[in-house]
Structure 1
Amino acid sequence: MKFSARYIAAFLAAVVATGAIVSLVQTQIVLGQLVEFDAPVTASLRAWTTLEDLARFGPVMVAIAIAALLPAVLVGHGAMRAVPPAWRAAIFAAASVGGLWIAFWLMRSVIPMPAIPGTRGPLGHLLMSLTGIVGGLLYTRLTSPAHREQQAEARLSWRYATMAAALVIVPAVSFFAMAPGAGDKPDGVDPASYTVQTVFTGLNRPWSMAFLPDGRTLVTEMGGRLRAIAADGTSLDIALEGLPPIFQQGGVIGLMEVALDPQFEQNGWLYLTMGYGEAGANGTRLVRVRLAGDKIEDVRVLFSSTLKPRAGNNGGRIAFLGDGTLVLSLGDGSARREEAQNPANHLGTVVRLDREGKPPADNPFMQQPGTAPEIYSLGHRNAQGIAVDPTTGDLLVTEHGARGGDEINRIVPGGNYGWPVVTGGIDYPFARVTPFHRLEGYQDAVLEWTPSIAPAGLAVYDGALFPEWRGDLLVPALKERAVRRVLRDGRRIVGQQLLLADLNERMRDLKVAPDGSIYILTDGIDAKLLRLTPPSRNG
Structure 2
Amino acid sequence: MTAMIRTIRTLLVAALATGAIASIVQTQLNLGELLRLGAPVTSSVRLWTTLEDLARFGPVMFGIAAAALLLAVLAGHWVLRFAPPSWRRFMFIAASVCGLAFVFWLMRSVIPMPALPGTRTAVGHGLMSLTGIVGGWLYARLTSSSKRSDSPGGGGRWREAAVVAVLLAAPAMLFFAMAPGAPDKPATVDRASYEVQTVATGLNRPWSVAFLPDGRVLVTEMGGRLLVIDTNGAASQIELDGLPPIFQQGGTAGLMEVVLDPQFERNGWLYLTMGYGEAAANGTRLVRATLKSDRIEEVRVLFSSTLKPRTGNNGGRIAFLGDETLVLSLGDGSERREEAQNPANDLGSLVRLDREGRPAADNPFIGKAGTAPEIYSLGHRNVQGIAVDPTTGDLLITEHGARGGDEINRIVPGGNYGWPVVTAGIDYPFAKVTPFTQLPGYQDAVLEWTPSIAPSGLAIYDGPLFPQWRGDLLVPALKERAVRRVVRNGQQIVDQQLLLSELDERMRDVKVAPDGSIYVLTDGVDAKLLRVMPGVRRG
TM-score surpassing 0.5? yes
**Total equivalences in the alignment:** 536
TM-score (norm 2): 0.98
Inter-partner Cα distance in structure 1 for 2:80 and 2:159: 26
Inter-partner Cα distance in structure 2 for 1:188 and 1:148: 64
> What aligned pairs does 1:367-382 form with structure 2 within 5 A after superposition?
367-382=367-382
After superposition, the CA RMSD in angstroms is 1.1
SS for the counterpart of 1:343 is coil
Match of residue 510 from structure 1:
510
Deviation at 1:44, TM superposition (A): 1.2
Residues 314 and 333, structure 1, Cα contact 8 Å, conserved in 2: no
User: Which residue type is aligned with residue 254 of structure 2?
Assistant: G
Inter-partner Cα distance in structure 2 for 1:414 and 1:127: 37
Residues 421 and 434, structure 1, Cα contact 8 Å, conserved in 2: yes
Deviation string, structure 1 residues 237-266 (Cα, Å, up to 9, x no partner): 100000000000001110000000000000
Inter-partner Cα distance in structure 2 for 1:524 and 1:159: 51
Match of residue 29 from structure 1:
29
Match of residue 67 from structure 2:
67
Deviation string, structure 1 residues 359-391 (Cα, Å, up to 9, x no partner): 012111111111111100000000000000000
Matched, 1:501 2:495: no
Deviation at 1:2, TM superposition (A): 2.3
Match of residue 98 from structure 1:
98
Match of residue 289 from structure 1:
289
Deviation at 1:285, TM superposition (A): 0.1
User: Which residue type is aligned with residue 88 of structure 2?
Assistant: R
SS for the counterpart of 1:148 is coil
Matched, 1:479 2:479: yes
Deviation at 1:169, TM superposition (A): 1.2
Inter-partner Cα distance in structure 2 for 1:373 and 1:354: 12
Deviation at 1:297, TM superposition (A): 0.3
Residues 400 and 407, structure 1, Cα contact 8 Å, conserved in 2: yes
SS for the counterpart of 2:368 is coil
Please, which moves more after superposition, 62-71 or 173-182?
62-71
Deviation at 1:159, TM superposition (A): 4.4
Inter-partner Cα distance in structure 1 for 2:309 and 2:20: 29
Match of residue 141 from structure 2:
141
SS for the counterpart of 1:236 is strand
Inter-partner Cα distance in structure 2 for 1:311 and 1:77: 39
Match of residue 333 from structure 1:
333
SS for the counterpart of 1:68 is helix
Identity across aligned pairs (percent)?
74
Residues 312 and 333, structure 1, Cα contact 8 Å, conserved in 2: no
Match of residue 202 from structure 1:
202
Deviation at 1:161, TM superposition (A): 2.6
Inter-partner Cα distance in structure 2 for 1:159 and 1:368: 69
User: Which residue type is aligned with residue 166 of structure 1?
Assistant: V
Segments of structure 2 that go 5 or more residues without pairing to the other structure are none
SS for the counterpart of 2:306 is coil
SS for the counterpart of 1:251 is coil
SS for the counterpart of 2:421 is coil
Deviation at 1:156, TM superposition (A): 4.6
Match of residue 247 from structure 2:
247
SS for the counterpart of 2:148 is helix
Matched, 1:469 2:477: no
Segments of structure 1 that go 5 or more residues without pairing to the other structure are none
> What aligned pairs does 1:256-335 form with structure 2 within 5 A after superposition?
256-335=256-335
Inter-partner Cα distance in structure 2 for 1:263 and 1:245: 27
User: Which residue type is aligned with residue 335 of structure 2?
Assistant: A
Deviation string, structure 1 residues 419-454 (Cα, Å, up to 9, x no partner): 000000000011000010101110000000011000
Match of residue 421 from structure 2:
421
Residues 461 and 473, structure 2, Cα contact 8 Å, conserved in 1: yes
Inter-partner Cα distance in structure 2 for 1:314 and 1:471: 28
Match of residue 346 from structure 1:
346
User: Which residue type is aligned with residue 176 of structure 2?
Assistant: F
Inter-partner Cα distance in structure 1 for 2:53 and 2:59: 9
Matched, 1:437 2:437: yes
Inter-partner Cα distance in structure 1 for 2:177 and 2:31: 23
User: Which residue type is aligned with residue 261 of structure 2?
Assistant: D
Match of residue 56 from structure 1:
56
Deviation at 1:334, TM superposition (A): 1.4
Inter-partner Cα distance in structure 1 for 2:75 and 2:374: 54
Deviation string, structure 1 residues 274-312 (Cα, Å, up to 9, x no partner): 000001000000000000110000000000000011110
Match of residue 174 from structure 1:
174
User: Which residue type is aligned with residue 171 of structure 1?
Assistant: P
Match of residue 114 from structure 2:
114
SS for the counterpart of 1:168 is helix
Inter-partner Cα distance in structure 1 for 2:200 and 2:5: 61
Residues 6 and 156, structure 1, Cα contact 8 Å, conserved in 2: no
Match of residue 384 from structure 1:
384
Inter-partner Cα distance in structure 2 for 1:318 and 1:231: 25
Match of residue 529 from structure 1:
529
Match of residue 404 from structure 1:
404
Match of residue 217 from structure 2:
217
Deviation string, structure 1 residues 492-531 (Cα, Å, up to 9, x no partner): 1000000000000000000000000000000000000000
Deviation string, structure 1 residues 150-194 (Cα, Å, up to 9, x no partner): x86677535433322221111011101101100210000001001
SS for the counterpart of 1:443 is coil
Match of residue 79 from structure 1:
79
Inter-partner Cα distance in structure 1 for 2:159 and 2:454: 47
SS for the counterpart of 1:60 is helix
Residues 193 and 536, structure 2, Cα contact 8 Å, conserved in 1: no
User: Which residue type is aligned with residue 97 of structure 1?
Assistant: V
SS for the counterpart of 1:313 is coil
Inter-partner Cα distance in structure 1 for 2:469 and 2:197: 19
Inter-partner Cα distance in structure 1 for 2:495 and 2:535: 23
Deviation string, structure 1 residues 4-57 (Cα, Å, up to 9, x no partner): 122111111111111111111001111111111111111111111111110110
SS for the counterpart of 2:200 is strand
Inter-partner Cα distance in structure 2 for 1:497 and 1:457: 16
Match of residue 183 from structure 2:
183
Inter-partner Cα distance in structure 1 for 2:127 and 2:159: 33
Inter-partner Cα distance in structure 2 for 1:234 and 1:223: 20
Residues 202 and 526, structure 1, Cα contact 8 Å, conserved in 2: yes
Inter-partner Cα distance in structure 2 for 1:85 and 1:235: 72
Inter-partner Cα distance in structure 1 for 2:29 and 2:201: 47
Inter-partner Cα distance in structure 2 for 1:60 and 1:453: 23
Residues 476 and 483, structure 1, Cα contact 8 Å, conserved in 2: yes
Inter-partner Cα distance in structure 2 for 1:232 and 1:49: 57
Residues 397 and 410, structure 2, Cα contact 8 Å, conserved in 1: yes
Match of residue 2 from structure 2:
2
SS for the counterpart of 1:352 is strand
Inter-partner Cα distance in structure 1 for 2:142 and 2:101: 23
Inter-partner Cα distance in structure 1 for 2:333 and 2:342: 12
Residues 311 and 333, structure 1, Cα contact 8 Å, conserved in 2: no
Inter-partner Cα distance in structure 2 for 1:302 and 1:73: 55
Deviation at 1:201, TM superposition (A): 0.4
SS for the counterpart of 2:346 is coil
User: Which residue type is aligned with residue 206 of structure 1?
Assistant: P
Inter-partner Cα distance in structure 2 for 1:211 and 1:536: 25
